[in-house]
Homo-oligomer: A and B are copies of this chain.
Amino acid sequence: MSELRKDPITFRYVIIAPNRAERPNCFEYDVNANNIIECPFCEGREKSTPPEIFAYRDENSKANSPGWKVRVVPNKFPALILKEKLARKNIGMFEKMQGFGSHEVIIETPRHYKKLHQLSEEQIKLVIDTYQHRLTDLKTDERLKYILIFKNEGSKAGATINHSHSQLIATPVIPIAIAEELQGAIKYFNQNGCCIFCDIIENEKYFGERVFFENEYFICFCPYASRFPFEIWILPKKHNTDYKNISEIEKSYLAKTLKIVLNKLTQAAGNPDYNYIIHTGPNRAAHQSYWQAIDKAFHWHIEIIPRLTGMAGFEWGSNFFINPVPPENSAKQLRNTE
Contact = CB atoms under 8 A, between A and B. Distances in A.
A9 B196 contact: yes
A5 B224 contact: yes
A15 B227 CA distance: 8
Nearest to A229: B27
B224 A148 contact: no
A17 B10 CA distance: 29
Contact of A313 (B29, B178, B224, B276): B276
A225 B6 contact: yes
B157 A312 contact: yes
Contacts of A152: 312-313
Given A309-B29, A313-B158, A322 B185 contact: no
A323 B175 contact: no
Contacts of A17: 322-324
A174 to B, nearest CB: 9
Stoichiometry, copies per complex: 2
A14 B318 contact: no
A176 B320 contact: yes
Interface stretch (A33-41, A88-96, A284-292): A88-96
B14 A175 contact: no
A188 interface: yes
Contacts of A18: 324-326, 329
A249 interface: no
Interface string A184-218: 11001000000010011001001100000000000
5 contacts: A14-B225, A79-B322, A94-B203, A94-B224, A277-B317
Given A15-B323, A177-B317, 11 more contacts: A10-B180, A14-B226, A18-B326, A26-B324, A29-B310, A30-B30, A148-B318, A150-B313, A150-B316, A152-B313, A305-B313
